[in-house]
Chains A and B, each alone.
Chain A
Amino acid sequence: MTTNLLRWIPLLPLIGAVLNIFFGGRWGKKFAGILASAAVLGSFLISLRVFTLLSPTGVLRDTLYTWIESEPFKAQVSFQADALTAVMLLVITGIGFLIHLYSTGYMAHDEGEARYFAYLNLFVFFMSVLVLADNLLLLFVGWEGVGLCSFLLVGFWFEDPANTTAGNKAFIVNRIGDFGFLLGMLLLFWEMNRLGVPSLDFAALQETAARIPPDSVVLVTLLFFIGATGKSAQIPLYVWLPDAMQGPTPVSALIHAATMVTAGVYLTARLNFLFALAPWTLSLIAIVGAATALLAGTIAVAQNDIKRVLAYSTVSQLGYMFLAAGVGAFSAAIFHLFTHAFFKACLFLGAGSVMHAMSGEQDMRKMGGLRRRLPVTYWTYLIAALALAGIPPTAGFFSKDRILLEAYSSPHGSVVLWFVGWITAGLTAFYMFRQLFMVFHGTSRAEESVQSRIHESPPAMTVPLIVLALGSITAGWVALPSRDVWDPWLQAVLRAGNPVEHGAAVNETLLVGLTVAIAVIGIALAYFVYGRQRRIAEEGPLWRVLAHKYYIDELYDFVFVRPFTAAANWLARAFDPRLVDGAVNGIAGLVRGISASGRRLQSGNVQHYLFAFLLGTILIFVFWLRR
C-alpha cells in the first residue's frame, strides 16, 4: 500500500542537517544538539508506526518523484518498507537517537558542535535512504552518502592531519569497494535489459533474477560483495575501520559499529534471491567472513588502544554476519546485526565515557581501577561485554549461537567454518575481558593529575548506556528456541535463506554447550592473565606481529600506495609538464615559427610588393589562358 509516511523518516534528519548547517552557529550549540536529536526521535517514532503497520509479507511504498527518465529506463526516488527495512530502520533511528542524546553530553565542550550534529543528521538521512530505497540506484545514493558522512565525521577535528588522513583512508578504500558495486550494478542492468526488463527495482530484480545466465549472476554477486567488503570492512578492504577511530567516539559507535558498516550485510540480505543463485559466491563470502572474523580477533588481542580493540572486534563480528550469509542463513546474519548494534554501541559509548573521565586518555595501559569511580559505565560495559562474548542469557549468545549452528549444519556450511567461528568466539571473550580487566579492575596506572579529575559522565551520556545495556540483554529474546518471533517476521523477505529447524538433533545442545564453554574459558584466561595484574608475553615476536596488525597496512603501502604515488608523481612532474605542456607549447611554438616566417613577407620594400603583384598577375593569366 502507498503512504506518505515513509518520506519523513529520511526527511526529518535532512531538515535537521540543513538547519544546523546554516543556522547552527547562530542558534547556539545547545540548540544544535536538541534539534538534531529531536529530528532523529521523530524518525524513530515514525519508524515505530511503520513497524506496527506492517506484516511479514506487507510492503509500504512511498514514491516521491521520477529521478531519471531515459526510455525505456526509469529510476524513481521511491521508498519501500518491508519487514527487513522495518528492522533496519528501528536500529538506525533508535540507536541513532540514543547516540545523538549521548553526543549532546560528549560534544558539549566542542566548538564545532553544530557542524557535528549536522553531519550526524545527514548520516541518518543517507542511511535511511539506503534501507528505504526500492531500487539499486537509490540504494547506491545512500551507500555513497554514508561514505561521505563517514569521511566528514572521521576527519571532524580536521586541524590534526592524522584525522584527515584517516578520513581520506576511509573514503578512498570505500571507493574501491564502491567501484565494484558500480560495476556489479551496471552488469546487472545490462543483463536485465537483455531480458527485456530495463529496471533496477528490487521487485523487478526478484522476478527476473532466475532468468539471468549463471555466469553473469556469479560475476554480479561477486562485484556486489567487493562493494560489501569495502563498506563492511572485510578482507581485503577492512583497513580503514581501525583508523576511523580518529573520529569522535559517538561517531564510531553509530557509524562504525551499528549502522554504516552493516550496509554490506543489508545489501546481501536485500539481494538474497540473487546470491542464492550463485553458490560459488556464497561459499566465498562464508570463507572471507570466517577468515576476517579470525584475523580481526587475533589482532584485537594485542591492541592497547581502547577504541582499536573495539574496532577490530567490529570487523570480527561483521565477519560472523557474512559467514552466516555465506551459508545461506540470511536471517541469522540480520539477527546478529540487530543484537550487535546494541552491545557494540554500548561498548563504544562506554569507552567514550571512560575517555571522558580520563581526560581523553585512550591507552589502556594507563588506565585501571575505574570500577569504583565509574559505576554506571562499569556495569553497562560489563553487560555489553558479556553479550559480545556470547554468554547466556544475553542477546549476543542467541545470535552468535544461531550463526555457529547454521555454519555447522547448513547444507552450505562445513565443520571447518564452524571451527573457525568457534575459536574466534573464544578469542572474542578473551580480548573483551582483557580490556575490561585492564580498564576497570586493579589499581589505577594513570598520572595523579588525571586521576584527580576522574568523574562519572553526565546523565545525557549514562542514560543511553543503560538503555543499550538493557537492550543487550533483551534483544536476543525475540528468537528463543521455544518462541521464535524473528524468523517468521523475516521469512517472506529472506525467502532464499534456509529455514531454521530448532532442536533438529542433539547436536544443537552440544554445539551450544561448546560455544558457551569456550567463551567461559576465554574469560577465565583473561582473568588469570590480566585480572591479577600479571601481564605476560607482551613482548615477543608473535605479540609484535599481532600488535602491528600483521603489517598489512605496511604491505598495502608497499604494494599499492607507493607504486601508485610514484606513478602519480611521474605523471605530475614528468609526463604532464613535458608531454602535455610540451605538446600544447609545441603547437604554440609552431604557430609562432610560422608566423615569424610569414612576417617577413611584409618587408616594407615596395619593390617586393610589386614583385608579388607581378606573380599574382602571372597566375591569373595562367588560369585565364587555360579556359
Chain B
Amino acid sequence: MTQAPLEYYLVLSAVLFAIGVAGVVIRRDVIVILMSIELMLNAVNLTFIAFSRFLGSVEGQVIVFFVMTVAAAEAVVGLAIMISVFRFRQTLDPRDMQLLKW
C-alpha cells in the first residue's frame, strides 16, 4: 500500500482545525467549546506527526508528546474552572460569563 502524500495529511489537518475553530466560535456550551479546543490540538498534532514522518526526524513526535501533556493539563484545569463557575451561575452558556466587561 502506498503512503498518502504529505499534502493530503496537511489538508485533513486543516479541515479538522477549521472544524474545531468553528466549534469554539459558534457553540454556546462551554463543555463543547473545550472539546473543540481538543479537536484543534489534535489537528495540530497530526500535522506535526506527518511532517516528522516525511522529514525523517523524530523530533516532531517529541513535540507531539509535549503537546499532549500540556493538553491534558489544560483540559483538567479548564474543566475544574467550569465546575466552579457552574456552581455559582448554574449555567454553561459563555454569554453569561461576562464579568470582564465593564
Indicate whether A and B are direct neighbours in the complex (CB within 8 Å): yes
A-to-B contact residues, CB < 8 Å:
602-607, 610-611, 614
Could you tell me if A604 and B94 are in contact, using CB atoms closer than 8 angstroms?
no
Could you tell me if B98 and A605 are in contact, using CB atoms closer than 8 angstroms?
yes
* Interfacial chain B residues near A603, Cβ < 8 Å: 98, 101
Selected contact of B94 from candidates A602, A606, A611, A614, CB within 8 Å:
A606
Known A602-B101, A603-B101, A604-B101: A611·B25 in contact at CB below 8 Å:
yes
Whole-angstrom distance between the alpha carbons of A604 and B95 in the complex? 8
- Residue B100 at the A interface, CB < 8 A? yes
19 new A-B contacts at CB < 8 Å, known A602-B102, A607-B26, A607-B95: A602-B101, A603-B98, A603-B101, A604-B98, A604-B100, A604-B101, A605-B94, A605-B95, A605-B98, A606-B94, A606-B97, A607-B24, A607-B25, A607-B94, A610-B24, A610-B25, A611-B25, A614-B21, A614-B25
Whole-angstrom distance between the alpha carbons of A610 and B101 in the complex? 15
* Interfacial chain B residues near A604, Cβ < 8 Å: 98, 100-101
Whole-angstrom distance between the alpha carbons of A604 and B26 in the complex? 15
Whole-angstrom distance between the alpha carbons of A84 and B94 in the complex? 97
Cβ contacts A to B, 22 pairs, < 8 Å = A602-B101, A602-B102, A603-B98, A603-B101, A604-B98, A604-B100, A604-B101, A605-B94, A605-B95, A605-B98, A606-B94, A606-B97, A607-B24, A607-B25, A607-B26, A607-B94, A607-B95, A610-B24, A610-B25, A611-B25, A614-B21, A614-B25
Which residue of the partner chain B has the closest CB to A617? B21
* Interfacial chain A residues near B101, Cβ < 8 Å: 602-604
Whole-angstrom distance between the alpha carbons of A602 and B98 in the complex? 11
Whole-angstrom distance between the alpha carbons of A610 and B97 in the complex? 15
- Closest beta carbon of chain B to A604's beta carbon, Å: 3
Number of A-B residue pairs, CB cutoff 8 Å, is 22
* Interfacial chain B residues near A610, Cβ < 8 Å: 24-25
Contact with A along B22-55 (1 / 0, CB 8 A): 0011100000000000000000000000000000
* Interfacial chain B residues near A606, Cβ < 8 Å: 94, 97
List the 4 shortest-distance A-B pairs measured between CB atoms, nearest first. Answer: A604-B101, A604-B98, A611-B25, A610-B25
B-to-A contact residues, CB < 8 Å:
21, 24-26, 94-95, 97-98, 100-102
- Closest beta carbon of chain A to B3's beta carbon, Å: 28
Whole-angstrom distance between the alpha carbons of A90 and B28 in the complex? 102
Whole-angstrom distance between the alpha carbons of A614 and B95 in the complex? 18
Whole-angstrom distance between the alpha carbons of A606 and B34 in the complex? 13
- Closest beta carbon of chain A to B47's beta carbon, Å: 16
Whole-angstrom distance between the alpha carbons of A463 and B1 in the complex? 139
Whole-angstrom distance between the alpha carbons of A610 and B25 in the complex? 6
Which residue of the partner chain B has the closest CB to A611? B25
Whole-angstrom distance between the alpha carbons of A603 and B95 in the complex? 9
Whole-angstrom distance between the alpha carbons of A611 and B21 in the complex? 9
Whole-angstrom distance between the alpha carbons of A602 and B26 in the complex? 18
* Interfacial chain B residues near A605, Cβ < 8 Å: 94-95, 98
- Closest beta carbon of chain A to B35's beta carbon, Å: 15
* Interfacial chain B residues near A611, Cβ < 8 Å: 25
Which residue of the partner chain B has the closest CB to A602? B101
- Closest beta carbon of chain B to A107's beta carbon, Å: 71
Whole-angstrom distance between the alpha carbons of A603 and B97 in the complex? 11
Whole-angstrom distance between the alpha carbons of A151 and B49 in the complex? 98
* Interfacial chain A residues near B95, Cβ < 8 Å: 605, 607
Whole-angstrom distance between the alpha carbons of A281 and B26 in the complex? 90
Whole-angstrom distance between the alpha carbons of A263 and B97 in the complex? 86
Whole-angstrom distance between the alpha carbons of A603 and B98 in the complex? 9
- Closest beta carbon of chain A to B15's beta carbon, Å: 16
- Closest beta carbon of chain A to B30's beta carbon, Å: 10
* Interfacial chain A residues near B97, Cβ < 8 Å: 606
* Interfacial chain B residues near A602, Cβ < 8 Å: 101-102
Whole-angstrom distance between the alpha carbons of A604 and B101 in the complex? 5
Which residue of the partner chain A has the closest CB to B99? A604
Whole-angstrom distance between the alpha carbons of A471 and B94 in the complex? 106
Whole-angstrom distance between the alpha carbons of A606 and B25 in the complex? 9
Whole-angstrom distance between the alpha carbons of A606 and B97 in the complex? 9
- Closest beta carbon of chain A to B20's beta carbon, Å: 12
Which residue of the partner chain B has the closest CB to A608? B25
* Interfacial chain A residues near B21, Cβ < 8 Å: 614
* Interfacial chain A residues near B98, Cβ < 8 Å: 603-605
* Interfacial chain A residues near B100, Cβ < 8 Å: 604
* Interfacial chain A residues near B102, Cβ < 8 Å: 602
* Interfacial chain A residues near B24, Cβ < 8 Å: 607, 610
- Closest beta carbon of chain B to A337's beta carbon, Å: 81
- Closest beta carbon of chain A to B25's beta carbon, Å: 5
* Interfacial chain B residues near A614, Cβ < 8 Å: 21, 25
Whole-angstrom distance between the alpha carbons of A614 and B36 in the complex? 15
- Closest beta carbon of chain B to A612's beta carbon, Å: 10
Whole-angstrom distance between the alpha carbons of A242 and B101 in the complex? 75
* Interfacial chain B residues near A607, Cβ < 8 Å: 24-26, 94-95
Whole-angstrom distance between the alpha carbons of A607 and B26 in the complex? 7
Which residue of the partner chain A has the closest CB to B26? A607
- Closest beta carbon of chain A to B26's beta carbon, Å: 7
Whole-angstrom distance between the alpha carbons of A606 and B94 in the complex? 7
Whole-angstrom distance between the alpha carbons of A605 and B25 in the complex? 10
- Closest beta carbon of chain A to B54's beta carbon, Å: 22
Whole-angstrom distance between the alpha carbons of A284 and B3 in the complex? 114
Whole-angstrom distance between the alpha carbons of A605 and B93 in the complex? 10
- Closest beta carbon of chain A to B19's beta carbon, Å: 13
- Closest beta carbon of chain B to A189's beta carbon, Å: 64
Whole-angstrom distance between the alpha carbons of A610 and B33 in the complex? 12
Whole-angstrom distance between the alpha carbons of A607 and B95 in the complex? 8
Whole-angstrom distance between the alpha carbons of A479 and B24 in the complex? 113
* Interfacial chain A residues near B94, Cβ < 8 Å: 605-607
Which residue of the partner chain B has the closest CB to A612? B25
- Closest beta carbon of chain B to A620's beta carbon, Å: 15
Whole-angstrom distance between the alpha carbons of A614 and B25 in the complex? 9
* Interfacial chain A residues near B25, Cβ < 8 Å: 607, 610-611, 614
Whole-angstrom distance between the alpha carbons of A602 and B24 in the complex? 19
Whole-angstrom distance between the alpha carbons of A121 and B97 in the complex? 82
- Closest beta carbon of chain A to B52's beta carbon, Å: 24
Most A CB contacts (10 A, CB to CB) among B25, B98, B102 go to: B25
Whole-angstrom distance between the alpha carbons of A616 and B77 in the complex? 28
Whole-angstrom distance between the alpha carbons of A611 and B26 in the complex? 9
Whole-angstrom distance between the alpha carbons of A603 and B94 in the complex? 12
Whole-angstrom distance between the alpha carbons of A523 and B8 in the complex? 129
Whole-angstrom distance between the alpha carbons of A218 and B60 in the complex? 99
Which residue of the partner chain A has the closest CB to B24? A610
Whole-angstrom distance between the alpha carbons of A607 and B44 in the complex? 21
Whole-angstrom distance between the alpha carbons of A605 and B94 in the complex? 7
